[in-house]
Structure 1
Amino acid sequence: MSRIAVARRLRRDQTHAEARLWTLVRGRRLADAKFRRQVPIGRYVADFVCLEARLIIEIDGGAHDAEEAQLKDLERTAVLESFGYHLIRFSNGQVLNAPGEVCDVIVATLRAARA
């Protein structure tokens, strides 16, 4: 399956946390930044991307707690950062239980990128 087909499937089958964050960032609702979701970058598909700020937001579920998954996440982060992106990660719980705090971190990161 192509990365574009994978991205389309991921957009259609998003998690609750991804859907919640999308409602908060879509349509330039957050710091007037345009976000896209499930964007192919290199061999990966990033959850959310603001191209103008070179910012990637990843939402991690419980599977990312396993040691093997954490090692893969480190590799993924290194590859995405090698393309010039800054990457921030939130857990599903953070997005669902503290969306205001998540938005504060995103806004602060966007402001720093624009400075």
Structure 2
Amino acid sequence: MVVRPETRRARVLRRDASEAERVLWRALRELTLPVKVRRQHPIGRYVADFAIPADTLAIELDGGQHAGTVEADAVRTKEMTAHGYRVNRFWNHEVLGNLEGVLQTIVSELGESPTSP
């Protein structure tokens, strides 16, 4: 069986998850959402930290290294949007310091689409 390069990369990223990614993944699994949440999910050329394909929602966590890569993050977001995804970005310190707020934001995005009133 041939494994796509994006899938191989996603497997490595899942294995080497940051602390914020591990904390958010555990919390999302405990929420018992009505939709499937995937972590390190390939979308186009990129791999989203978390994705909810049923609601076309991508969740990206940004650490300190992202402060200097605003343009690269914008390109990444633009490509994910071109694939039909809405992208929510959170800083790692938000996840670690305000997990409930992050979860509330994610849950409020579920079921919303650009055409929702």
Q: TM-score, normalised by structure 1?
A: 0.90
Q: Does 1:13 pair with 2:16?
A: yes
Matched residue, 2:29:
26
Q: Take 1:34 and 1:93, find their aligned partners in 2: how far apart are those partners?
A: 25
**1:85 CA displacement:** 0.4
Contact 1:49 1:55 survives alignment (8 Å): yes
Q: Take 1:98 and 1:111, find their aligned partners in 2: how far apart are those partners?
A: 23
Matched residue, 1:79:
79
38-47 or 104-113: which moved more?
A: 104-113
Q: Which has the higher helix share?
A: 1
**1:32 CA displacement:** 2.3
| Alignment counterpart, residue 50 of structure 1, candidates 40, 49, 52 | 52
Contact 1:26 1:34 survives alignment (8 Å): no
Matched residue, 1:38:
40
Matched residue, 2:67:
65
Runs of 4 or more consecutive aligned structure 1 residues displaced over 3 Å after TM superposition: none
- The C-alpha deviation readout for 1:3-37, integer Å capped at 9, x for no partner, is 1111000000100000000001126x254231000
**1:2 CA displacement:** 1.6
Structure 2 gaps of 5+ residues are: none
Alpha-carbon RMSD: 1.8
Sequence identity percentage: 40
Structure 1 gaps of 5+ residues are: none
Q: TM-score, normalised by structure 2?
A: 0.89
Q: Does 1:96 pair with 2:99?
A: no
Corresponding residue SS for 2:60: strand
